[in-house]
Copies of this chain bind each other. A is one copy, B any other.
Amino acid sequence: MSSQARSTSSTPRRSLRECRELVEEGCLVLLYIDERRRFIFRVRRGGVKGSDKGILRHDDIIGKPYGSRVRLSTGVEAWVLRPRPLDLVELHHRRATQIIYPKDSAFIIQLAGIGPGSRVIEVGVGSAALTTILAWHVAPDGHVYGYEARRENLEAARRNLEELGLLELVTLHHADAREGVEERSVDAFIVDMPDPWSVLGEAYRSLRGSGVFIAYMPAINQVLRLLEAVHEHGGFIGVRVYEVLVREYIPRPDTLRPRTTMIAHTGYILSAWRVHV
């Protein structure tokens, strides 16, 4: 997508919300050739999307309704879909070494009680995979405040969010959250960093009463240490620890079976309510 990104400087950038029925210039599309060939890009006049199955000229789809069937230069059939946030994360962010998977971000959204209007702090933005989902759900009047200490991550996050038209819903801080966060009275505080216990005090200070603290951790040792820290800190109740497993099936009606391999582990999710002590 980077080549697209360079060339779209003069293309209008429309948000997912603006592109609902028709594919217009500046809209994101998901080109679906088959399950292994799914591509997300922004449509611009004169643009071209290549693949090993043939080429698609952007002009051929401008003005068509989402869901239309198109033909690549080779005659191969494909479909023009409206990407879901799920697809943005799966197809756009996936090069990043470690993202929070949709199965986990979906559950985090529920645990944190996030919805339209929510104000959320996210510590450890990475390439903005989770941020993408958060921004989608807090719209139109909520906001995500992202903290990221590594400059290269922050730049990638900014580019991704801008490209996806979500940057106006997000404030990115190039800062180490352990040294303090600015916002107060937020609804949720979500941490994806190796030492979540080191921001527990900041979480307490920035969360409103009954706000929700969430940490996402790959190793069980982190969970143990965080549990100890939460108990020691005080001011958090209703601590829960979860894992989410999604099992996908090969959807053939004559030989239905689960896929042979699955992602068996991504991270543990800890949640707790912040209360007044």
> Using a CB–CB distance below 8 Å, which chain A residues touch chain B?
17, 20-21, 32, 35, 65-69, 79-82, 84-86, 102-103, 105-107, 109-113, 115-117, 133, 136-137, 139-141, 185, 187, 208-212, 218-221, 223-224, 227-228, 231, 237-249, 251-266, 268, 270, 273-277
Contact = CB atoms under 8 A, between A and B. Distances in A.
Nearest to A79: B275
Given A139-B116, A243-B246, A264 B258 contact: yes
Contact of A242 (B17, B227, B247, B273): B247
Chief secondary structure at chain A's binding surface:
mixed
A16 B174 CA distance: 33
Given A67-B209, A67-B276, A221-B254, 9 more contacts: A32-B237, A65-B210, A66-B209, A67-B211, A81-B273, A81-B275, A102-B107, A116-B116, A247-B264
A208 B21 contact: yes
Contact of A110 (B86, B273, B277): B86
Contacts of A244: 103, 244-247
B84 A185 contact: no
Contacts of A208: 20-21, 65-67
14 contacts: A67-B208, A68-B276, A86-B110, A106-B106, A115-B136, A115-B137, A219-B256, A223-B249, A227-B252, A241-B251, A242-B246, A243-B247, A244-B244, A258-B264
B227 A224 contact: no
Contact of A115 (B85, B187, B211, B248): B85
A143 to B, nearest CB: 13
A210 B110 contact: no
Q: How many copies does the complex hold?
A: 4
A107 B103 CA distance: 6
A103 B106 CA distance: 8
A224 B185 CA distance: 38
A110 B114 CA distance: 13
A276 B257 CA distance: 29
A262 to B, nearest CB: 4
A255 B221 contact: yes
Contacts of A241: 248-249, 251, 256
B68 A256 contact: no
Contacts of A262: 261-262, 264-265
